[in-house]
Amino acid sequence: MAEKQRYGLLIDYEYCTGCFTCQVACQQEYGWPAGMGGMRVNEIVQNLPKGKAYLTYFPFPTELCILCRPRTKKGLQPACVQHCMAECMRFGPVEELAKEMAQKPRMVLWAPK
């Protein structure tokens, strides 16, 4: 049963400020060298009509994200989720996160593992 349950990360990117905490939290937790890690934060600047633009940051879990199994086993939040400065990341079963996702725009649900 535990095998079947998929977990994921729900990210409210409206509030992601691009603080890079998640990226470094993961590197610290697993000792990844610079340039590697379970999370990469990207900056996206989208041009809008009338000379306007919108600045977004977008955390992307990489091949190296193990969804913090060693932490969650112990009842801890994933390192990135706990430290996220904007408190815009949630960890949980994908079904539950999908329900939450339906409540609000500008959300992304990752299920890296």
Partner 1 sequence: MTQSNTTIVPTTTWSAGAGCHGGCGILAHIRDNKLVKVEGNPDHPWNRGRLCARVLAMTQYTHHPDRLRHPLKRVGARGEGKWERISWEEAFDLIEERMKAIRDAYGPESMLFNSGTGRDIYPWICMLAYAYGSPNVMFGLTGSACYGPRLAAVNTVQGDFAVFDAAQWFPDRYDDPRWRRPECMVIWGYNIHATCPDNLFGHWIIDMMKKGTKIITVDPRLSWFASRSKHHLALRPGTDAALAMGFLNVIIREKLYDRNFAQTWTNATHLIRTDTGKLLTEAELVSGGDSANYVVWDEATGRPLVWDCAAVDYRGEAPEAPMFSGSCEVELPQGEKVACQTVWDTFCAEVEQYPPDRVEEITGVSAELVAEAARYYAKAKPAAIHWGVAVDMTPALTPLVQAISCLWALTGNLDVPGGNVIARLAFDVAPYALPGSKGAIRLKSEELDKPRIGVDRYMPLNKFYWRCSTDLSLDQIFTEDPYPIKGMWIQTAGILQGLGMDPKKWRSALEKLDFVVAVDLFHTPTTQYADVVLPATTFLEKDSFRSWWVPLQTINKAMRVDECLPDMEINFELSRRFDPDFRFETLHELYDDILKPAGMTFAELQQKGWAYPPEGSSSCPYRRHEKGLLRPDKRPGFRTPSGRFELYATLREQWGLEPVPHHEEPPFTPVSRPDLAKDYPLILSTGRRSPAFFHSEHRNIPWLRAIDPDPVVEIHPETAAEHGIGNGEWMWVENWMGRARFKAKLTPVVPKWMIMAAHGWWHPEKDAAEPSLYGMWKSNVNQLLPMGHQGKDGMGAPIKHSMCKIYKAGPEEV
**Binding stretches for ligand SF4 (CB under 6 A):** 11, 16-22, 25-26, 29, 38-39, 41, 57, 59, 61, 65-68, 78-80, 84-86, 88-89
Measured in whole angstroms, the distance separating CA 103 from the mean position of its chain's CA atoms is 18
Q: Is the CB of residue 78 less than 8 Å from the CB of residue 68?
A: yes
Figure out which of the listed residues 9, 23, 90, 101 binds partner 1, where binding follows CB under 8 A.
Answer: 23
Nearer to ligand SF4, 26 or 107 (CB): 26
How many C-beta atoms lie closer than 10 Å to residue 72's C-beta?
16
* 6: DSSP letter: -
CA distances from 60 to 50, 70, 74, 86, 92 (A): 30, 20, 24, 16, 17
Cβ closer to partner 1: 33 or 105? 33
User: Which one of residues 18, 38, 59, 61 is an interface residue with partner 1 (CB under 8 A)?
Assistant: 18
Contact residues for partner 1, defined by CB under 8 A: 14-15, 17-21, 23-25, 27-29, 33-35, 41, 45, 47, 53-57, 70, 82-87
